[in-house]
A and B are shown apart, each in its own frame.
Chain A
Amino acid sequence: MSTDRVCKLRQQSLDARESLSSERAELLTEFYQQGSGLVSTPVRRALAFQHLMAHKTIYIGEGELIVGEKGPAPKVAPTYPELCCHSLSDLDILDTREKTSFKVSPKTRRAYEQTVIPFWEGHSMRDLLFHEMTPEWIAAYEAGIFTEFMEQRAPGHTVLDDKIYHKGMLDFKADIQRSLRSLDFLNDPHAYAKQEELRAMDICADALMRFAERHAEKARELASVEHDSQRKSELERIAAVCEWVPAHAPRDFWEALQYYWFVHLGVTTELNTWDSFCPGHLDQHLEPFYQKGMQTSEVSEDFRSLAEELLHCFWIKFNNQPAPPKVGVTAAESGTYTDFAQINLGGVRPDGSDAVNEVTYLLLDVIEEMRLLQPSSSIQVSKKNPDRFVKRAAKIIRTGYGQPSVFNTDLIVQELVRMGKSVADARCGGSSGCVEVGAFGKEAYILTGYFNIPKVLEITLHNGLDSRTGRRIGIETGDPAQFQSFDELFAAFERQIRHFLDIKIRGNNVIERLYATYMPAPFLSLLTDDCIAKGKDYHEGGARYNSTYIQGVGMGTITDVLAALKYHVFDQKTLAMNEMLAILAADFEGHERQRQMLLNKTPKFGNDDDYADDLMRRVFEMYFQAIDGRKNMKGGEYHINLLPTTVHVYFGSVIGATPDGRRAGTPLSEGISPVQGADRHGPTAVLRSAAKMDHARTGGTLLNQKFTPSLLKNDEGLDHLVQLVRTYFKLDGHHIQFNVVDAATLREAQRHPEQHRELIVRVAGYSDYFCDLSQALQDEIIARTEHERF
């Protein structure tokens, strides 16, 4: 149960309108304008971080127990002009756009006009990045072949392990000193670079401690004028907590949470990292503090209540942080306020044993009680975990809030080991963002952009031309009408895919170097093994493992498209290639009968039909072979994953009509889910189809399932859900998530958004308020097949 305090804080978080703050941008500009003397780039970045942490507004809200905000107040988002300098027109768009808008005050606008824009315009990483890309890259980017994750945000996308729970910043500083002392300036050509990186990390550790100290000072100040004695003692406790962490390792539950929160703010203030930052296996990390609290408090129930209240406060803190504003393609591919902090529950311990513990259940209670968009939560299900755990989570899923999502731990360990992690590091890993896997606290696993697989086929069908613009952006792979067999078509498609992937990878490799060279992240580095030991930045390959992902999109659509071409053009010969192309060019206008044939009389992915599913495997294999194992610029390798966030809507908007009966401009399938409405044999057939993919060779796949609430209303329904999940995982599926809401409710919410502001749905790897989604995305979610037959 929530206390009054929690109810108020939660409501405040829900009610606050997202707005934009120029504070960070102004402080940063001030720092760069002053100049920092003769210092190296990492040290300059560290000093900039120090400047921010020393001067940003300290916010301690009424009734708060966990303190600290990324902006000057809840739901106020900072900006990162060194990455992306918003123009005045960007600000106007952000202020007025219908979805995911940010209020921009006249004062903020003025600060941008007078201070921020004059200094940063033309000098941001975004400017540099586009400047360094080849014309081929720009053309493909503009055509919607792929997106670029680093054009407005920094690489990051990472998760913390357990290190902060036994080490304070002072301990990290000691590690840094040891590493500095061991530098070999006589023989190591990189000694100087290492020294600068280590010095930078050291400054960052100081900066975070100062940031906490400022919170302690503020709390003492508030306590001195506080009349309410209970609040006064709370403020004094807050001050004491902030005086101890992050300088030292936490001693109790409260300090552990507050420490993480300072670190979270540090990482997301240093740079605007993709997918925020995540605490990882929070139930495992908090367990010792919880057990200690239960044993040492006089009344263990009181301690449990306190722990629960602290967790509620902690949860609300995440919800107070909207993802910083996005514009252009980034806004289209990730159109949400969610900043993708994901909390992992369950799974296994480093020794491989069942990790579900009392705190796991406590956190599930918190998730159900808070029902907030952020943080996102997931259960990591191992065959070793008890059914009780999965069923407890299913009870939350049943409430139709799209959380928690469900992951296959045993497979994730397999995926990570395949990609070169030690077994223990793999077990400490898990999922973050939407569905992506990494070794927590030890890996830089960077998502670099979505890849529009169906668009490349469209280009193949036009011999290298983008039919939407008439521009030649691909290579000439032959006139499709001349292909004698499906294999010829597929070979041409594969050449075209490789062509565009080479463009993407070339771009990625340059961008990785741009970040390594100009935008090191010494604070994030200090938290990531083995950056201190190697004296190397997170962006430079300092992490123990370094992976680069390219996320394939539209697996369901491309499978159905290829199935339609193979079946009707080559096997049954119901349509000649030219006829097919003419029908597509007309967007089925005057060809409704053929469209119905393509929709209804064609093998489709998601029905456990090998005709279609074999094509899915073939596309998977081709995509995998084109990417997996290629070298990145950080000493690591490229891998694939298959997820879309909201990009399947944008990617669909740049593709004309497709041979699967899809009309021009409409969304693609999402994740590895079947095309919306194409799966007609129930959920087991969908899972069988999806499991034919070799998930073990990915870094994450995303499968969405929609159920009507009536299916899950009784205990038996929940059992069946658990059994469905367990079976999918036995078949080595990676992830599954559920929307438990009926189409009628969603349509009603479209008509009367004002009455359904609280309605939360699963989008793709995250949940969002239904009414905050674009109309196209709303329609797409409604169109997903609803399993109501059970």
Chain B
Amino acid sequence: MGMVFDIRRYAIHDGPGIRTTVFLKGCPLDCWWCHNPESQSSQPELIFRENRCIGCEACVAECRNEAISFQRSAFGGQRSTANGLPPPVTNRTLCQVCGECAEVCYAEAREIAGREMTVAQVLAEIVSDIPFYDESGGGVTFSGGEPLLQREFLLELLRACKTREIHTTVDTSGFTAWPVIESIRPYTDLFLYDLKLMDDEKHRRYTGVSNALILSNLRKLSKAGQAITIRIPIVPGINDDEDNIRRTGEFLTCLPHRHPVELLPYHASADGKYSGLGKVNRLPGTVAPSGERMQMIAERLRSFGLQVK
């Protein structure tokens, strides 16, 4: 069994062709710019989407822990639900994330991110789009979170896919023990390998961990002759400075093999997700880098002889 928080078909930005991306839940990193905050915890989490709430109060009646309440006093300026009530408040210390409120929330305002799935269940979703993979040279991508955190589950899925001649891609932070990577390598056609910050201190500050292991794993993986695409999120004010870009370029040119680079511009679309999870967005008000800025960074990396998309 594995903990999956989303399966998206027709994913076309996670490797070649038309793909299905399976998002595994749980991540050892804690990046400030994370656009999938529901991927971080390995446990199921409650998401509340205020704009969908119709104020039917079914959740209040269903909750055994009395964690949900509707504030009946009129709030000035607060958005109200279809019943004219302000939206419910969930006390997350009382909430046990049992998911029963989500079951009865027909408007899908309450949802549990993360569900236990068997290999067979995930595989059933993956094989549905085989004709599209065949036509487009696509396949499956395992992303997260950090998929390597669920090594056994991932390994089984990868093996099952390879048995079926499905192209496999693993989207990883690289923050894991080398033997873990080594064990899945025979069943992985392509790694999407994230490279966030070259400065270790900054890396620790903005992701919560050191980059030493990530860089060393990348070197080993490159040396092994593995197909890798380097993915760099460009987050304004954090890693888009000349120093970081230069050091990234230098590092990549020193690897045993050259690997193509993809730049992923930061986008602010996750803001609603943070509030829906009751989490704090540590980059409020950060705006996406301009197309021009992205072009400049791409050009800078190309000046190292790298292939940048």
* Contact status A601-B106, CB under 8 Å: yes
* Contact status A790-B12, CB under 8 Å: yes
* Contact status B106-A790, CB under 8 Å: no
16 A-B pairs within 8 Å (CB atoms) are namely: A593-B107, A594-B106, A596-B107, A608-B9, A684-B10, A684-B128, A684-B129, A688-B129, A716-B12, A719-B136, A723-B18, A723-B132, A730-B131, A789-B8, A789-B11, A790-B10
* Contact status A596-B54, CB under 8 Å: yes
Any chain A CB within 8 A of the CB of B135?
yes
* Chain B residue at minimum C-beta to C-beta distance from A716: B12
A586 to chain B, nearest CB (A): 16
* Chain A residue at minimum C-beta to C-beta distance from B13: A790
| Interfacial residues, chain A to chain B (CB-CB below 8 A) | 592-594, 596-597, 599-601, 608, 681-685, 688, 716-717, 719-720, 723-724, 726-727, 730-731, 787, 789-790
Any chain A CB within 8 A of the CB of B17?
yes
| CB < 8 Å neighbour of B58 from A593, A683, A719 | A593
Any chain A CB within 8 A of the CB of B108?
yes
In the complex, chain B residues whose CB is within 8 Å of the CB of A597: 106
In the complex, chain A residues whose CB is within 8 Å of the CB of B106: 593-594, 596-597, 599-601
* Contact status B12-A592, CB under 8 Å: no
* Contact status A726-B135, CB under 8 Å: yes
Knowing that A592-B54, A592-B56, A601-B106 are A-B contacts, what are 15 other residue pairs whose CB atoms are under 8 Å apart, sorted by A's residue number? A593-B54, A593-B58, A596-B108, A682-B9, A682-B10, A684-B18, A685-B128, A720-B12, A723-B17, A723-B18, A723-B135, A726-B135, A727-B18, A727-B134, A727-B135
B contacts with A, residue count (CB < 8 A): 22
* Alpha-carbon separation in the docked complex, A624 to B65 (Å): 54
* Contact status A592-B17, CB under 8 Å: no
Number of A-B contacts (CB under 8 A): 69
Residue interface bits B51-87, CB-to-A below 8 A is 1, else 0: 0001010100000000000000000000000100000
* Contact status A592-B10, CB under 8 Å: no
| Interfacial residues, chain B to chain A (CB-CB below 8 A) | 8-13, 17-18, 54, 56, 58, 82, 106-108, 128-129, 131-132, 134-136
* Chain A residue at minimum C-beta to C-beta distance from B108: A600
* Alpha-carbon separation in the docked complex, A311 to B26 (Å): 61
In the complex, chain A residues whose CB is within 8 Å of the CB of B13: 790
* Alpha-carbon separation in the docked complex, A601 to B11 (Å): 25
* Contact status B135-A730, CB under 8 Å: yes
* Alpha-carbon separation in the docked complex, A597 to B12 (Å): 32
* Contact status B9-A684, CB under 8 Å: yes
In the complex, chain B residues whose CB is within 8 Å of the CB of A730: 131, 135
* Contact status A593-B108, CB under 8 Å: no
In the complex, chain A residues whose CB is within 8 Å of the CB of B136: 719-720, 723, 727
In the complex, chain A residues whose CB is within 8 Å of the CB of B17: 720, 723
| CB < 8 Å neighbour of B18 from A593, A594, A608, A724 | A724
In the complex, chain B residues whose CB is within 8 Å of the CB of A717: 12
* Chain A residue at minimum C-beta to C-beta distance from B137: A723
* Contact status B107-A600, CB under 8 Å: yes
* Alpha-carbon separation in the docked complex, A608 to B128 (Å): 8
* Alpha-carbon separation in the docked complex, A608 to B7 (Å): 13
* Alpha-carbon separation in the docked complex, A727 to B82 (Å): 43
By CB atoms of chain A within 10 A, which of B10, B17, B18, B134 has the most? B10
A385 to chain B, nearest CB (A): 15
* Alpha-carbon separation in the docked complex, A596 to B107 (Å): 5
* Alpha-carbon separation in the docked complex, A772 to B269 (Å): 35
By CB atoms of chain A within 10 A, which of B11, B12, B54, B106 has the most? B106
In the complex, chain B residues whose CB is within 8 Å of the CB of A724: 18, 132
B198 to chain A, nearest CB (A): 29
* Alpha-carbon separation in the docked complex, A600 to B58 (Å): 15
* Contact status A593-B56, CB under 8 Å: yes
* Chain B residue at minimum C-beta to C-beta distance from A687: B132
* Alpha-carbon separation in the docked complex, A717 to B17 (Å): 10
Minimum-distance CB pairs A-B, first 9: A596-B106, A682-B10, A597-B106, A723-B136, A596-B107, A727-B135, A593-B56, A684-B10, A790-B12
* Alpha-carbon separation in the docked complex, A601 to B58 (Å): 15
* Contact status B82-A683, CB under 8 Å: no
In the complex, chain A residues whose CB is within 8 Å of the CB of B129: 684, 688
* Chain B residue at minimum C-beta to C-beta distance from A790: B12
In the complex, chain A residues whose CB is within 8 Å of the CB of B108: 596, 600
* Alpha-carbon separation in the docked complex, A361 to B232 (Å): 41
In the complex, chain B residues whose CB is within 8 Å of the CB of A719: 136
| CB < 8 Å neighbour of A789 from B10, B107, B131, B132 | B10
| CB < 8 Å neighbour of A681 from B9, B54, B58, B135 | B9
* Alpha-carbon separation in the docked complex, A596 to B49 (Å): 15
* Chain A residue at minimum C-beta to C-beta distance from B17: A723
| CB < 8 Å neighbour of A683 from B10, B56, B107, B131 | B10
* Alpha-carbon separation in the docked complex, A233 to B163 (Å): 72
* Chain B residue at minimum C-beta to C-beta distance from A711: B12
* Alpha-carbon separation in the docked complex, A789 to B269 (Å): 13
In the complex, chain B residues whose CB is within 8 Å of the CB of A592: 54, 56, 82
B61 to chain A, nearest CB (A): 12
In the complex, chain B residues whose CB is within 8 Å of the CB of A682: 8-10
By CB atoms of chain B within 10 A, which of A593, A608, A681, A720 has the most? A593
A599 to chain B, nearest CB (A): 8
* Alpha-carbon separation in the docked complex, A681 to B135 (Å): 19
In the complex, chain B residues whose CB is within 8 Å of the CB of A596: 54, 56, 106-108
In the complex, chain A residues whose CB is within 8 Å of the CB of B54: 592-593, 596
* Alpha-carbon separation in the docked complex, A359 to B182 (Å): 55
* Alpha-carbon separation in the docked complex, A716 to B136 (Å): 11
* Chain A residue at minimum C-beta to C-beta distance from B103: A601
* Alpha-carbon separation in the docked complex, A789 to B19 (Å): 12
* Chain B residue at minimum C-beta to C-beta distance from A598: B106
In the complex, chain A residues whose CB is within 8 Å of the CB of B56: 592-593, 596
* Alpha-carbon separation in the docked complex, A369 to B135 (Å): 31
In the complex, chain A residues whose CB is within 8 Å of the CB of B107: 593, 596, 600
| CB < 8 Å neighbour of B132 from A593, A599, A727, A790 | A727
* Chain B residue at minimum C-beta to C-beta distance from A719: B136
A607 to chain B, nearest CB (A): 10
| CB < 8 Å neighbour of A685 from B9, B11, B135 | B9
B298 to chain A, nearest CB (A): 14
* Contact status A731-B8, CB under 8 Å: no
* Alpha-carbon separation in the docked complex, A583 to B39 (Å): 39
* Alpha-carbon separation in the docked complex, A191 to B11 (Å): 66
* Chain B residue at minimum C-beta to C-beta distance from A723: B136
A583 to chain B, nearest CB (A): 13
* Alpha-carbon separation in the docked complex, A596 to B135 (Å): 38
In the complex, chain B residues whose CB is within 8 Å of the CB of A593: 54, 56, 58, 106-107
By CB atoms of chain A within 10 A, which of B8, B58, B131 has the most? B131
By CB atoms of chain A within 10 A, which of B17, B58, B128, B135 has the most? B135
